[in-house]
């Protein structure tokens, strides 16, 4: 451990491992009376001494009175404490029983915590040939859309945003999603850059924007197509871009098949909106583009991303300083992960995360008989929670590794308490920047909480034949052996972080990562259907400012949940706001409180996601399980609802 001591307070330099793009360098201290303080490292070139409220408040999660710190076994409808030896023996016996039909075991790995050692569970179950959960509950549609266009998943160095003269933000919530991106945007504005935000509203971007265009949810691709129509009408397509693309003829024909007015009418935008967006992209100075994760959480989310990418490409803003398109990088992209794949690899069955309940119920030859969940509150977080819960209840043996009795853990047969961020050593990357951090253990874990890698290693030794996993130090060494890093684990411990060797400008000179070096334009377009009269409001489940996903301390959840609608939302004509209301979808209903928020599109309902079903929240129980067009992601935002009084 590296630390400094001041006035009897020990301060450790470590790193955030939450599922957050910023991956901050942290200073963590604990005073003799037990008070924990978490702050940003002022000496880190990206963190620069400040962090988000989620990070500053994380000590509340660590010390929550509802944290579970010893193994539990279900006995009927109650839980009884068991020793670690008993718990590990139970796990090993269940795995041994099903090992000769390994597809009957399902491993569900979530991103509740980032880091190299979190991949050991994948290696463990891959070595068995167990079934796995694939797809994504987060960003897969946008990720695959970018790969289809560019041939890979790269961004400019995020600090290159300071070279932008204009920034077009398609729905990223700068006030909640990344405090350091927000700070860079404000710094760029201080240098003269202007920011245009395009979204259905409710994103907290008023203080980060110079202009705002409100659109109907899910129609970003229509708006981009309308701007592209004007671009083509005026023969203003960038000449260099034309020489670096594939699919131009069919794409041009598709865009010109409808008028600009037709394209924009679907979005509830007008001719002035199209002209303004076009002027931002036709400026001679560089224009940078941000893609919010929300716009790719529709059934045509990949198309939304691809048409925005095409607009940035055909106006010449890809591959130049101050330009580019920013989405999520691969958080492990700077590491070597070959060691996580056993050799020879065994054939494995995949079930999809967004449809996990349906897939579990439909699995046969063999059916899933055992599930292991770590890093995820899947019953709460995946769509169609009721179906997922029913599927869980039907399984023979369920193991959940967590620190809290979540909606998923409630349905387990065995609960294994894990350490959390700051209580375990790891190495972590980012999906925003290229700094790699040593995440030192800064605090002692409570009770009998154990790291995931210890749990897997101990179970592996109990199997016959055993599954022997590498030691953490070996995992660190192998992970750091990449073309982008030149450092050993000990050197990283000493330096705390290192910047990977990546170019500052992605796709410089418009050279892309497809085999021919060219960009790919989309070849199809699908219209956004209107809502049904029975369910006229589009439900957008957006992130919170203080907590990440469902990592909300139970004692800090207030029920019933609050939803927000526009002042001109048609539902308000028949809705009383002095009590509770019901939010209804074809899957069921839930009790909510309704508030009015300025700036929202009138067809929109906003719900801040992550609260727990067992407490009265859990919005995914009324959201159907649908897949995005690419990436096998969850199309959460395809759900329509209505609001009514009980």
Q: How far apart are CA 34 and CA 8, in angstroms?
A: 12
CATH number, residue 32: 2.20.25
Do both 148 and 205 map to the same domain?
A: yes
Q: Give the closest residue to 130 by CA, choosing from 534, 605, 460, 521.
A: 460
Q: Looking at the domain assignment, is residue 114 inside a domain? A: yes
CATH number, residue 628: 2.40.40.20
CB 359 within 8 A of CB 321: no
Do both 43 and 122 map to the same domain?
A: no
Could you give the strand order of the β-sheet that contains 72-75, starting from the edge strand earlier in sequence?
78-81, 72-75, 414-417, 397-402, 370-374, 105-109, 131-134, 350-352
Do both 389 and 410 map to the same domain?
A: yes
Do both 101 and 119 map to the same domain?
A: yes
pLDDT of res. 3: 44
Please say which residue of 29, 62, 95 terminates a domain: 62
CB 641 within 8 A of CB 609: no
CB 537 within 8 A of CB 641: yes
Q: Looking at the domain assignment, is residue 129 inside a domain? A: yes
Residue 399: HSE in the Cβ half-sphere, 13 Å Cα cutoff: 28
CATH number, residue 416: 3.40.50.740
User: 568-590: per-residue pLDDT in tens?
Assistant: 999 999 999 999 999 999 999 99
CB 551 within 8 A of CB 245: no
Q: How far apart are CA 472 and CA 493, in angstroms?
A: 14
Do both 165 and 228 map to the same domain?
A: yes
Enumerate residues 6+ apart whose C-beta is below 8 A from 259.
229
Kindly give the pairing relationship between strand 426-428 and strand 588-596: unpaired
Q: Looking at the domain assignment, is residue 491 inside a domain? A: no
What is the longest distance spanned by two Cα atoms in the chain?
Answer: 73
C-alpha pair distances (Å), 481 with each of 312, 334, 412, 486, 487: 35, 10, 38, 7, 8
CB 233 within 8 A of CB 260: yes
Do both 422 and 455 map to the same domain?
A: yes
Does this model's pTM top 0.75? My answer is yes
Q: Looking at the domain assignment, is residue 214 inside a domain? A: yes
Do both 275 and 144 map to the same domain?
A: yes
pLDDT of res. 33: 87
Q: Looking at the domain assignment, is residue 494 inside a domain? A: no
Enumerate residues 6+ apart whose C-beta is below 8 A from 171.
197, 198, 199, 200, 203, 220, 291, 292, 294, 295
Q: How many beta carbons lie within 10 A of that of residue 471, not counting itself?
A: 11
pLDDT of res. 562: 97
Do both 455 and 418 map to the same domain?
A: yes
C-alpha pair distances (Å), 199 with each of 204, 280, 389, 610: 11, 16, 33, 22
Do both 348 and 365 map to the same domain?
A: yes
Q: How far apart are CA 596 and CA 282, in angstroms?
A: 37
* Burial profile 550-585: b = 16 or more Cβ within 10 angstroms, e = fewer: bbbbbeebeebbebbbbeebebbeeeeeeeebbbbb
3-state secondary structure of 239: helix
In the chain, the number of structural domains is: 4
* Burial profile 212-250: b = 16 or more Cβ within 10 angstroms, e = fewer: bbbbbbbbbbbbbbbbbbbbbeeeebbeebeebbeeeee
Do both 471 and 577 map to the same domain?
A: no
CB 142 within 8 A of CB 328: yes
Give the domain range for residue 94.
Answer: 72-134+336-428+435-482
Do both 110 and 30 map to the same domain?
A: no
Q: How far apart are CA 549 and CA 382, in angstroms?
A: 11
CB 539 within 8 A of CB 643: no
First CA to last CA distance, the chain: 57
Q: Looking at the domain assignment, is residue 303 inside a domain? A: yes
Enumerate residues 6+ apart whose C-beta is below 8 A from 627.
135, 299, 352, 354, 355, 633, 634, 635
Q: Give the closest residue to 443 by CA, choosing from 457, 418, 469, 424.
A: 424
Helix or strand (DSSP H, E) at 594: strand 588-596
DSSP conformation letters of 184-206: HHHHHHHTT-EEEEEESS-SS-G
3-state secondary structure of 351: strand
Q: Give the closest residue to 432 by CA, choosing from 341, 507, 330, 338.
A: 330
Q: Which residues of the chain are modeled with pLDDT < 50?
A: 1-7
Do both 171 and 271 map to the same domain?
A: yes
Could you give the dihedral angle defined by the CA atoms of residues 30, 34, 38 and 39, in that order, rounded to the nearest 10 degrees? -60
Q: How far apart are CA 99 and CA 105, in angstroms?
A: 8
Q: Looking at the domain assignment, is residue 532 inside a domain? A: no
Q: Looking at the domain assignment, is residue 106 inside a domain? A: yes
């Amino acid at each position: 451990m590296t630390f400094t001591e001041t006035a009897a307070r020990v301060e450790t330099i470590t790193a955030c491992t939450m599922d957050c793009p910023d991956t901050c360098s942290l200073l963590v201290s604990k005073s003799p009376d037990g008070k924990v303080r978490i702050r940003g490292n002022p000496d880190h070139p990206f963190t620069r001494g400040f962090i988000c409220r989620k990070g500053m408040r994380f000590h509340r999660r660590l010390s929550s009175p509802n944290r579970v710190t010893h193994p539990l076994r279900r006995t009927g409808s109650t839980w009884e404490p068991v020793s670690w030896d008993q718990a590990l023996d139970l796990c090993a016996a269940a795995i041994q029983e099903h090992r000769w039909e390994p597809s009957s075991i399902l491993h569900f790995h979530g991103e509740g915590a980032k880091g190299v050692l979190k991949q050991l569970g994948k290696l463990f179950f891959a070595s068995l040939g167990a079934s796995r959960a694939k797809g994504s509950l987060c960003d897969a549609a946008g990720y695959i859309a970018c790969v289809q266009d560019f041939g890979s998943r790269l961004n400019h160095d995020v600090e290159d945003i300071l070279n932008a003269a204009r920034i077009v933000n398609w729905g990223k919530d700068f006030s909640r999603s990344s405090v350091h991106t927000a700070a860079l945007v404000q710094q760029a504005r201080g240098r003269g850059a202007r920011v245009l935000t395009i979204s259905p509203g409710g994103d907290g971007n008023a203080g980060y924007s110079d202009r705002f265009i409100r659109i109907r949810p899910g129609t970003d691709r229509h708006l981009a197509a309308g701007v592209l129509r004007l671009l083509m009408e005026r023969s203003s397509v960038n000449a260099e871009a034309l020489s670096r693309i594939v699919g131009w003829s069919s794409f041009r024909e598709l865009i010109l098949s409808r008028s600009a007015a037709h394209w924009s009418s679907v979005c509830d935008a007008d001719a002035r909106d199209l002209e303004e967006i076009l002027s931002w992209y036709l400026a001679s100075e560089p224009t940078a583009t941000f893609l919010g994760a929300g716009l790719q959480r529709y059934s045509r989310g990949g198309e939304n991303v691809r048409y925005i990418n095409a607009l940035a490409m055909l106006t010449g803003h890809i591959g130049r300083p101050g330009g580019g398109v920013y989405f999520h990088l691969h958080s492990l992209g700077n590491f070597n992960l070959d060691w996580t794949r056993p050799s020879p690899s065994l054939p494995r069955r995949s079930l999809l995360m967004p449809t996990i309940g349906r897939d579990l119920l439909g699995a046969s030859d063999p059916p899933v008989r055992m599930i292991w969940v770590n890093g995820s509150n899947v019953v709460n977080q995946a769509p169609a929670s009721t179906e997922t819960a029913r599927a869980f209840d039907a399984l023979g043996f369920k193991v959940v590794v967590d620190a809290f009795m979540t909606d998923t853990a409630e349905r387990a047969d065995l609960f294994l308490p894990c350490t959390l961020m700051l209580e375990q050593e790891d190495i972590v990357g980012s999906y925003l920047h290229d700094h790699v951090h040593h995440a030192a253990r800064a605090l002692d874990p409570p009770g009998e909480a154990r790291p995931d890698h210890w749990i897997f290693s101990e179970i592996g030794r109990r199997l016959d034949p055993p599954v022997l996993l590498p030691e953490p130090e070996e995992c660190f060494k192998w992970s750091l052996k990449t073309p982008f890093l030149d450092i050993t684990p000990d050197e990283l411990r000493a330096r705390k972080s290192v910047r990977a060797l990546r170019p500052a400008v992605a796709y410089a000179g418009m050279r892309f990562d497809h085999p021919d070096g060219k960009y790919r334009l989309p070849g199809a377009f699908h219209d956004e259907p209107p809502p049904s009269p029975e369910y006229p409001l589009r439900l957008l489940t957006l992130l919170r400012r203080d907590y990440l996903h469902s990592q909300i301390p139970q004692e800090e959840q207030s029920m019933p949940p609050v939803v927000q609608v526009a002042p001109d939302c048609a539902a308000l004509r028949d809705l009383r706001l002095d009590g509770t209301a019901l939010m209804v979808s074809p899957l069921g209903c839930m009790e909510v409180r309704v508030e009015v928020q300025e700036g929202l599109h009138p067809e929109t309902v906003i719900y801040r996601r992550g609260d727990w079903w067992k407490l009265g929240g859990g919005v995914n129980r009324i959201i159907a399980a649908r897949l995005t067009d690419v990436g096998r992601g969850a199309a959460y935002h395809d759900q329509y609802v209505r609001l009514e009084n009980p």
